[in-house]
Chains A and B, each alone.
Chain A
Amino acid sequence: MASSNSGFEALAVDHLDSAYNLARWLVRDPALADDVVQDAMLRALKYFHGFRGENARAWVLQIVRNVALTRLQSGRTGAMGVAAQAAAHVDLEVAALTVPDDPSQEPEATLMREEDERLVQRLLQGLPVELRECLILREIEELSYKEIARIVDAPIGTVMSRLWRGRKLLAQAAAEHA
């Protein structure tokens, strides 16, 4: 690379989708997720000189997560996206009982499938954030336990246990709605 900056740009572009996906699923609000990613990338650029090149994606996602959680915490009292605000107060049990029926529901297979997919997304959004992030990182970003442990700043055993709890809750909740 000709300079450390262009090196960072390549790295950032490489992991932008991962960063955004994690941010979206953490804060559950598109506009807030935009902010989080912008903020995280500028922060990553600032600390890039300290990055030793070992696992760029985990490093970027760690920053994204820290920014997102800080925003979520400050957001609970201040301005927060409407969607996130609504979702933030729904825990899984409540979500499982109050998933609203879609009035436009039609008995067509594709609509049913879309319905199911939306239901899964709502159930996932209703999971506690520490379980949700493990599921997203493992199942969508396909990261290893070791990488997830680093990103969520927890021992591998804790990651394994959260992952199992998250999966079990999701599977059970979906079964109740089947």
Chain B
Amino acid sequence: MNTSTYECEHTLLVQAEFDGELDAAQAAKLAPHREQCPHCQAVQEQLTRSRDLMRTVPRHVVSPDMKAQILQRMREAEAANASSSAAVVSSLDAERERRESASAPPKPRSGSSFSGWRYGAGWGVAVAASLLAAIVVLRPQSPDVGAQLVNNHLRAMQFDSHLIDVVSTDHHTVKPWFAGKVDFAPPVKQLDREGYVLKGGRVDIVDTRPAAVLVYQAGRHVVDVYIWPANSGGATLFREKQVAGFNLRHWEEGGLTFWCVSDMGAEELDRFATRWRSAS
């Protein structure tokens, strides 16, 4: 399909911006044109309209029965190829863990009006939690801070009451709440305009010391931003990591250490982290 198919050659760029596929420089370059092009404004409206429509579409999730059946068939296929008894034992342990946590009732997630999603998301979290349990079983001595954070994140998602200790979308409420609970002043940022809604904060223990946690809602995802004093002197480094399907982004800045944890995609979390860091 060539550009003559579109009423304005910028159509796909407008769409790319809408999908968060443009970097800040590209987006800034597009903005003046979009402001004055009636075609691009119509495109923007249709993009918004179609996204609103798609938000009503359910995400189909596998039933527990079907999941069990698939795992069973995979295990049979594995058994045919089993090379060591040790592998089988750990696999069984992992599965027992998985069954135990999968039997917990699914937990609804806030921010979605569609009951199918609620079930799906809750179930997804339960599965992820059991997965994490499986990893812990296989690697019991894991001192990894990333795994700890994912663990905290999952626990918070499972027991909704602890997801947020101070419920507020206003950073003027959230920031003072941390005073006296942690011995540092975490930066609390509002990113509503970027589509990330501050839901509140809580205090978690990470590596035996209290950490401030900011909770953001981004569409169907929750992002936890963990903050605590850095050991090193404020070097800025950016690291990425994946634990049990959760993405993590880590950096240090101004004597504090930051970790973002979410089930959102890697590139989306990059976008979140970039915008969070550049927000004032």
Chain A bound to chain B: yes
Residues of A within 8 A of B (CB): 1-3, 5-6, 8-10, 12-17, 20-21, 24-25, 33-34, 37-38, 41-42, 45-46, 116-117, 120-121, 124, 135, 138-140, 142-147, 157-158, 160-161, 163-164, 166-168, 170-172, 174-175
Contact A170–B69 (Cβ < 8 Å): no
Contact B91–A160 (Cβ < 8 Å): no
Tell me how far the C-beta of A108 lies from the nearest C-beta in chain B, rounded to whole angstroms.
17
User: Which A residue's beta carbon lies closest to that of B79?
Assistant: A5
Known contacts A9-B91, A12-B74, A145-B21; is A171 also within 8 Å of B46 by CB?
yes
Chain B residues with CB under 8 A of A37: 62, 66, 70
Partner of B12, one of A42, A124, A164: A164
Known contacts A2-B138, A14-B131; is A42 also within 8 Å of B77 by CB?
yes
Tell yes or no: B40 within 8 A of A by CB: no
Q: Which of B6-24 contact A (CB under 8 A)?
A: 6, 11-12, 15-16, 19, 21
How many pairs, one residue from A and one from B, have CB atoms within 8 Å of each other in the complex? 160
Contact A171–B19 (Cβ < 8 Å): no
Chain A residues with CB under 8 A of B56: 116-117, 120
Contact B265–A144 (Cβ < 8 Å): yes
- Contact mask for chain B residues 122-148; partner A; CB cutoff 8 A; 1 contact, 0 none: 011001101100110010000000000
Q: Cα distance A138–B69 when bound, in Å? A: 29
Chain B contact patch, size range: 35 or more
Contact A138–B12 (Cβ < 8 Å): no
**Can you name 6 extra interface pairs (CB under 8 A) apart from A46-B77, A163-B15?**
A9-B71, A9-B94, A20-B61, A24-B60, A171-B50, A175-B49
Contact B54–A140 (Cβ < 8 Å): yes
Contact B70–A38 (Cβ < 8 Å): yes
Partner of B91, one of A3, A45, A146, A172: A3
Known contacts A140-B54, A145-B16; is A17 also within 8 Å of B91 by CB?
no
Contact A25–B62 (Cβ < 8 Å): no
Q: Cα distance A52–B61 when bound, in Å? A: 26
Tell me how far the C-beta of A31 lies from the nearest C-beta in chain B, rounded to whole angstroms.
11
Q: Cα distance A163–B6 when bound, in Å? A: 13
Contact B94–A6 (Cβ < 8 Å): yes
Contact A174–B69 (Cβ < 8 Å): no
Tell yes or no: B104 within 8 A of A by CB: no
- Contact mask for chain B residues 47-86; partner A; CB cutoff 8 A; 1 contact, 0 none: 1011101111111111000110111011101100111101
Tell me how far the C-beta of B242 lies from the nearest C-beta in chain A, rounded to whole angstroms.
9
Chain B residues with CB under 8 A of A172: 46
5 CB < 8 A contacts A-B: A20-B66, A124-B57, A147-B265, A167-B15, A175-B49
Tell yes or no: B237 within 8 A of A by CB: no
* Majority secondary structure, B binding face: helix
User: Which B residue's beta carbon lies closest to that of A164?
Assistant: B15
Chain B residues with CB under 8 A of A5: 78, 81-82, 87, 91
Q: Cα distance A163–B82 when bound, in Å? A: 43
Contact A164–B131 (Cβ < 8 Å): no
Known contacts A17-B62, A160-B15; is A168 also within 8 Å of B46 by CB?
yes
10 A-B pairs closest in CB distance: A3-B87, A167-B50, A139-B54, A2-B90, A24-B60, A14-B245, A117-B56, A171-B50, A171-B49, A20-B62
Known contacts A120-B57, A121-B57, A167-B47; is A42 also within 8 Å of B87 by CB?
no
Tell me how far the C-beta of A38 lies from the nearest C-beta in chain B, rounded to whole angstroms.
6
Chain B residues with CB under 8 A of A135: 50, 54
Contact A142–B219 (Cβ < 8 Å): yes
Contact A140–B59 (Cβ < 8 Å): yes
Known contacts A117-B56, A171-B49; is A16 also within 8 Å of B219 by CB?
no
Contact B267–A17 (Cβ < 8 Å): no
Contact B135–A10 (Cβ < 8 Å): yes
Q: Cα distance A5–B6 when bound, in Å? A: 49
Q: Cα distance A46–B11 when bound, in Å? A: 42
Contact A144–B21 (Cβ < 8 Å): yes
